[in-house]
Amino acid sequence: MPDRVFTPVSLGPLRLAHRIMMGSMHLNREDDPQALAAFYRERAAGGAALIVTGGAAVSRTGAGGPNYLLINEPEAAAVLSPTLEAVHGAGGKIALQLFHAGRYAFESSYGLRPAAPSEVYSGFSRAVPAAMTQQQIEAVLADFAAGAAQAQSLGFDAVEIMGSEGYLINQFASPLTNLRTDGWGGDPQRRQSFPLAVLAAVRGAVGPAYPVIYRTSGADFVAGSSTLEESRALAVALAAAGADALNIGIGWHESRVPSVQALVPHGHWMGIAGSIRAALAGAGVQVPVIGSNRINSLHLAEQALSAGQADVVSMARPFLADPEIVAKTRRGQAELVNTCIACNEACIDRSLGTEAVSCLVNPRAGRELAFPLVRSVSAPDLRVAVVGAGPAGLQAAATLAQAGVPVDLYEESDGIGGQFRLAGTVPGKEDFLQTIRYFRNELPRLGVRIRPCESPGAEALSGYAHVILATGVRPRPVPLPRTGRLPVRDYREAFAAPADLGRRVVVIGAGGIAVDLARLLTGTPGGPADVTLLRRGHRIGEGIGPSTRWAVLQELAAAGVRTLPGTTPLEVTPEGLLVATAQETVLLPADTVLLAAGQVPHNPLHSALLHQRIPCTVIGGALDASGLNAVRAFDQGLETGSLL
């Protein structure tokens, strides 16, 4: 039981029962007040000490997209009241995050040109913002003040000012994006003016007794931006100016230093929060410091708190993966926590666009109303068989069992998890094994009978009321002429024995699995020293989400992996793989050629079941192997399990 986590803490006047809060995440569900309320209700009931909403823009110009909350619009009360009622009804506390995107806003949201300190092109929004006039700056300060007053009058327990991640306030603090020479820019001192003015405006609006949290950047990680010393100095100034707590952000959207991806080691950036905490202590202006990023368990949070790196730990994604992460851990059931695997596929990648945010390993997230935990099924005593214990089958079995349906889960191999078992062997993706650990514990608790090493035929399945076929995929064959006996292996064989492939490996394919395989091979002691990925198409890492792709490609390059887009395999020879590029035909010397060029559905039972008129549904990769989409597989497991 983490001890320090479960000690109370005060953020100024805001008393928290323990030290785990749910951090802000834009959900793209802010246009549905009831769905939003249901989402936050479960997180409050699940034990978050404090929830911070997604960014609530203080003006349309400052919105991060078309679905952002707009705190100063007339509809704000109607949108937010259900959430307030739900969270408070569940015994929780909630803060509203006051937000202005600055040059990270999109003109397409409301037809308004983004506004920022200076006209500095943003690679994130792909626009040059307008430099704000003095009058506009004063108007934005008034917008922050009005938003804070509105939050207070609606009944929020606190506000959080969003001053990090490269948004407007952070842009004013940075020499990269603030080129002004007036009182709002010019030297480090004057670049503090706007962040401090926002705090003063908000404080002036809500009074001294209302909690104001300030999210400030601990490290921008963009060349030419604020130094770590400047970030620390700003944090000290904010604390001295009356912020009740500092929540430390890491990196900008334009950063090319990974901060939230799975390949970032757990707790890696907590040292930045720790250095700010030390700077505050040194300056004698200590306020609670909130740390975040790559903490996905209360065990890790405990370590950070015990090491003095923070007073409170903020997690956002782990509350999507499991709204009960705090309650389960507190009950001594950490083994039943559905752990966030930092894939970003259904959350951050979507929050950067307009698709509604959810969670890969918890597809109910954001859809709590559509998929209630408690439901009645028409014939609960009828047993269902799920064949295949990959993501789709696991989720289908859990969903059915949650509703009280007896389920037998068949798996031909000796363990559950499907291709998650492969992913979990990749350096930096070990958390994928946590998903398997979760289902291994959760399914028996729900009454599912897991039957490993069993491949039932149609006869054996005839007694079930329904059969869900989730038999997954097989590697797509790549028919190539061969001369000689050079080994050719598919990706499953390579994952099973990465050290047995020789020193030179050529991988046909460069999608997500091929990239994972390359990372495994280059990280395997005694594994191949020379790894090449090739594909006919031109995009290496196709299918990997936008928040992760650049980071893993960066890592492949650092590991010396050669990537050859626009390359067609022709023939396996005794010396290697003969390939054609647009210019020439060349031999790539290899000890082994690996096939990781996609998958095909593996669905051996369907026709037999149809023939015998056994009701069945095909889901996951067995239905559609394109892109090997785990989000889609979990979704289909939930939806199919809910329909029966």
Residues 352-391 that bind ligand SF4 (CB under 6 A): 359-361
Phi first, then psi, for residue 566 (nearest 5°) are 65, 35
**Nearer to ligand SF4 (CB atom), residue 249 or residue 363:** 363
**Nearer to ligand SF4 (CB atom), residue 30 or residue 345:** 345
Residue type at 351 in one-letter notation = S
Q: Quick check: 346 binds ligand SF4 (CB under 6 A)?
A: yes
CA-wise closest residue to 351 among 104, 628, 23, 29: 29
**Nearer to ligand SF4 (CB atom), residue 329 or residue 344:** 344
**Nearer to ligand SF4 (CB atom), residue 238 or residue 298:** 298
Q: How far is CA 433 from CA 279, 315, 322, 423, in A?
A: 38, 20, 16, 8
65 class by beta-carbon count within 10 Å (0-12 exposed, 13-18 middle, 19+ buried):
buried
Residues ≥6 apart with Cβ < 8 Å to 261: 342, 344, 547, 548, 551, 552
**Nearer to ligand SF4 (CB atom), residue 168 or residue 337:** 337
Shortest distance in whole angstroms from residue 432 CB to ligand SF4:
10
Task: In whole angstroms, give the CA distance from residue 290 to residue 164.
Answer: 13
Q: How many residues bind ligand SF4 (CB under 6 A)?
A: 14
Residues ≥6 apart with Cβ < 8 Å to 381: 406
Q: Are the beta carbons of 243 and 267 closer than 8 angstroms?
A: no
Q: Which of 305, 341, 384, 590 binds ligand SF4 (CB under 6 A)?
A: 341
Stretch that binds ligand SF4, among 175-183, 265-273, 345-353, 597-605 (CB under 6 A): 345-353
Q: Which of 83, 255, 344, 548 binds ligand SF4 (CB under 6 A)?
A: 344
Shortest distance in whole angstroms from residue 325 CB to ligand SF4:
11
Q: Which of 213, 222, 337, 340 binds ligand SF4 (CB under 6 A)?
A: 340
Residues 470-499 that bind ligand SF4 (CB under 6 A): none
CA-wise closest residue to 416 among 446, 385, 395: 395
Shortest distance in whole angstroms from residue 399 CB to ligand SF4:
17
Beta strands in 174-284 (DSSP E): 212-219, 245-250
Residues ≥6 apart with Cβ < 8 Å to 567: 534, 535, 536, 579, 580, 581
Q: Which residue do the tokens 């009960």 mark? A: 324
Shortest distance in whole angstroms from residue 347 CB to ligand SF4:
3
Beta strands in 240-341 (DSSP E): 245-250, 289-291, 312-315
CA-wise closest residue to 434 among 322, 348, 531: 322
Q: Which residue do the tokens 């059969």 mark? A: 467
DSSP state of 309: S
Q: Which of 320, 423, 486, 597 binds ligand SF4 (CB under 6 A)?
A: 320
Task: In whole angstroms, give the CA distance from residue 453 to residue 623.
Answer: 22
**Nearer to ligand SF4 (CB atom), residue 236 or residue 320:** 320
Q: Are the beta carbons of 333 and 321 closer than 8 angstroms?
A: no
Under DSSP, is residue 421 helix (H, G, I), strand (E, B) or coil? helix
Query: SS in 3 state form for 111-125?
Result: CCCCEECCCCCECCC
Q: Quick check: 206 binds ligand SF4 (CB under 6 A)?
A: no
**Nearer to ligand SF4 (CB atom), residue 195 or residue 366:** 366
Stretch that binds ligand SF4, among 1-9, 315-323, 437-445, 509-517 (CB under 6 A): 315-323
Shortest distance in whole angstroms from residue 155 CB to ligand SF4:
28
Q: Which residue do the tokens 């904010």 mark? A: 238
Shortest distance in whole angstroms from residue 262 CB to ligand SF4:
8
Task: In whole angstroms, give the CA distance from residue 141 to residue 197.
Answer: 7
**Nearer to ligand SF4 (CB atom), residue 343 or residue 473:** 343
Q: Are the beta carbons of 261 and 551 closer than 8 angstroms?
A: yes
Q: Quick check: 321 binds ligand SF4 (CB under 6 A)?
A: yes
**Nearer to ligand SF4 (CB atom), residue 252 or residue 319:** 319
Shortest distance in whole angstroms from residue 361 CB to ligand SF4:
5
Q: Quick check: 317 binds ligand SF4 (CB under 6 A)?
A: yes
Binding characters for ligand SF4, 272-311, by CB under 6 A (x = yes): ----------------------------------------
Q: Quick check: 342 binds ligand SF4 (CB under 6 A)?
A: yes
**Nearer to ligand SF4 (CB atom), residue 344 or residue 592:** 344
Shortest distance in whole angstroms from residue 268 CB to ligand SF4:
16
Which of 167, 210, 438, 464 is the catalytic position? 167
Q: Are the beta carbons of 322 and 431 closer than 8 angstroms?
A: no
In the chain, count of helices (H) and strands (E)? Answer: 21, 28
Shortest distance in whole angstroms from residue 76 CB to ligand SF4:
27
Stretch that binds ligand SF4, among 126-134, 175-183, 340-348, 400-408 (CB under 6 A): 340-348
Shortest distance in whole angstroms from residue 471 CB to ligand SF4:
24
Task: In whole angstroms, give the CA distance from residue 581 to residue 102.
Answer: 44
Shortest distance in whole angstroms from residue 405 CB to ligand SF4:
25
Stretch that binds ligand SF4, among 26-34, 116-124, 314-322, 470-478 (CB under 6 A): 314-322
CA-wise closest residue to 471 among 626, 602, 598, 627: 602
**Nearer to ligand SF4 (CB atom), residue 368 or residue 530:** 368
Q: Quick check: 103 binds ligand SF4 (CB under 6 A)?
A: no
Active site residue 438: no
Q: Quick check: 345 binds ligand SF4 (CB under 6 A)?
A: yes
Q: Are the beta carbons of 387 and 469 closer than 8 angstroms?
A: yes
Q: Which of 337, 343, 517, 590 binds ligand SF4 (CB under 6 A)?
A: 343
Q: How far is CA 565 from CA 452, 491, 562, in A?
A: 40, 19, 10
Active-site residues, by number, are: 167
| Residue ranges that bind ligand SF4, judged by CB under 6 A | 317, 320-321, 340-347, 359-361
